[in-house]
Chain A
Amino acid sequence: MSETTPDQQTDSSSNGKSNGKDVTENGRPNLIQDLREKSRGATDLFKKPKETQLYKSVFRHKLDESPRNRSLAVLTNVFLHLHPAKINRDAVKYAFTWGMGGITFLLFIVLTVTGVYLMFYYHPSKGQAFRDILFLSHDVPFGNLLRNMHRWGAHAMVLTAWLHMFRVFLTGSYKKPREFNWAVGVLLLVLTMLLSFTGYLLPDDQLGFWAVTVGTNMARATPLLGHEGPFGPQLGFTAFNDVRFALLGGSIVDSNALLRAYVWHCVGIPVVAGVFMIVHFWRVRKDGGISGPAPFVLPHEVKGWLPKEKKK
């Protein structure tokens, strides 16, 4: 633009009566001609969008089917780079993996997205909370669907996490070198259930209230730390300073408990779970990808496993 401004000023007299010449009398390029030339360059770019700087800055490699591009498609994509470029041909069999770990993560994402939407309509305060749920179910566009998806997604996530653990156990995938990742997975399972449980109170209805009352009443009985647990009273714990009080922010399930459940549910546990998930996925790769299907090992092939007299 800045290049053409001087032209605009000097050629303003000859601007209207272009006679098809490329150059005006004083030797400067014709403005219209010039712009036409420039726009031709631009339309050429539209004909070959993959040649543009814009395209090349976003997509770092070509998309035609070549082994190199297939690898780059995964390696240069931040969302896919958790995957290796290649995996064992048998490891993509559904029969082996059941897909439950991935589905659990998918549900976590669904719950994060729907959860954030729900947060726009929800106040974690006694009295208002229940009305917000009514408002969500009856007035907010798609609010009911949103709440239902969050609820059922949460239930489904508990289930898929169990099934994932079940598959990992049945295939012996927790064995060397994946012991630590199994332990991380167990903690993630616990966090999943805690997330679900803290969310249970938030509608502030009878269902959630009594479920959380029953659940946190057990904390009264924590050995050493609860005021009704073994040796709790002897250590000076009462209903107003024990572990249950810390969980509820009070001695009964009331407004403080609602706020605490909300903060744990929306911030605390998701952050912790997120950190553990990062470790979990990272370790899957670092421990050599998914465990199998591995070739069968026969007992006599493992050194020092069978007692000597049994060896033939």
Chain B
Amino acid sequence: MDWHQLLDIVSKPDNIPIVIMGILVPFYTWYGLRQAFANDRVITRLESDKALAKAHHRKREEYDPAWDKNVHVWPFLLRIEFLATLIVMALLTIWSIGLNAPLEEPANPTLTMNPSKAPWYFLGLQEMLVYFDPWIAGVVMPTLIIVGLMVIPYCDVNPLGNGYYTFKQRKFSILTFLGGFLFLWCTLIFIGVFIRGPGWMWFWPGQTWDHHRIDNETFRHLPELFGLTKAGNPVMTAVFGIVVLGAFVTVCAWVIHHLYKKYKPEAYAKMNIVQYVIMQALLIGMIAMPVKMVLWHVFKIKYVLILPWFNI
């Protein structure tokens, strides 16, 4: 166990933000879900007791019918904003006094940094480069993430849970978001920051970075397992890839369809075909990521689909 190596990575100035993220993201996940579950308990009680549901003010916050519904922004909101400003400025100043921004040697195109890492918030994308070709990891996936996030409100037809924390009423959307944000995005970033060493090779936390290590793992393409190579039979290799990829998409779509229809009949009934197809496509795209990771790490498979113009 090389504690020094671990400390070296963790205490790198540019990695401090991700250490902070490693604390803040779990904290706020807990903080939000705790309120969601507390609200859910109230909702369950209201559902089982119609009389209570009629009389209840439908919030967990303290309530008194005699109170004004609204409060003045001055001072009740502005004092919070003022306090938040003071705290943030104080913390930022302390942080800036205590820790210097990194500055390496002058840029030198002839001397490659090893590992050369993007800023931490892009390391999820850089980690994707391992599993997909650059045009997918660097262009298609980011576009899908951005567009996917933007269409969320237009595909989520569930009218419940608008403006309050709840898990019970939005299980599917919250689990999907947590899966995408915590599992895919944050985990990939953590791998990129803490696991990847020289040559973008896998070093467990505490393992010494060996700059002379050579990975002798040989990767194969899925068609090769069935005797098909691009050199030998390019057409059949391409057809094989298309069939496998098509089968993957079909199976995913089928499974999602049945699960969705079974567990979210209300949403399914309300969605139109455009909303449904977009949701399916985005979900399949999300599933493809961990599937390719498993293919890579466990089965040492690089490409599934091999075409003359690009590979997947």
Contact = CB atoms under 8 A, between A and B. Distances in A.
Q: Chain B interface secondary structure, helix, strand, loop or mixed?
A: helix
A239 interface: no
A148 B99 contact: yes
A230 B164 CA distance: 45
A210 B116 CA distance: 6
Nearest to B169: A299
B53 A298 contact: yes
A218 B103 contact: no
Interface string B27-50: 011011101100100110011000
A74 to B, nearest CB: 5
How large, as a class, is the contact surface on chain B? Answer: 35 or more
Interface residues of A, number: 109
B28, B57, B120 — most chain A CB neighbours (10 Å)? B28
Contact of A89 (B47, B71, B126, B266): B71
A231 B135 CA distance: 11
A152 B75 contact: no
Interface in A221-252: 221-223, 226, 228-231, 234, 252
Given A87-B70, A229-B135, A70 B75 contact: yes
Given A84-B73, A159-B20, A295-B59, A190 B146 contact: yes
Given A103-B88, A173-B163, A205-B104, A73 B28 contact: no
Interface in B43-91: 43, 46-47, 53, 57-61, 67-78, 80-81, 84-85, 88-89
Contacts, number: 313
Given A88-B69, A90-B61, A209-B109, A197 B77 contact: no
A126 to B, nearest CB: 8
B106 interface: yes
Contacts of A297: 58, 159-162
A54 interface: no
B105 A206 contact: yes
Nearest to A99: B84
B135 A137 contact: no
Interface of B: 14, 16-17, 20-21, 24-25, 28-29, 31-33, 35-36, 39, 42-43, 46-47, 53, 57-61, 67-78, 80-81, 84-85, 88-89, 92-93, 95-97, 99-109, 111-113, 116-122, 125-126, 129, 133-135, 137-140, 146, 149-150, 152-154, 156, 158-166, 169-170, 174, 177, 181, 265-266, 269-270, 309-310
29 contacts: A71-B74, A74-B72, A74-B78, A89-B70, A91-B77, A99-B80, A103-B88, A130-B106, A149-B92, A153-B92, A156-B17, A162-B25, A165-B149, A175-B158, A175-B163, A206-B111, A206-B113, A208-B107, A211-B119, A214-B118, A223-B140, A228-B134, A253-B107, A291-B163, A292-B162, A294-B163, A296-B42, A297-B160, A305-B159
Interface of A: 67, 70-71, 73-74, 80, 83-96, 98-99, 102-103, 106-107, 110, 130, 133-134, 137, 144-145, 147-153, 155-156, 158-159, 162-163, 165-167, 169-176, 178-179, 182-183, 186-187, 190, 193, 196-197, 200, 203-211, 213-215, 217-223, 226, 228-231, 234, 252-253, 291-299, 302, 304-307
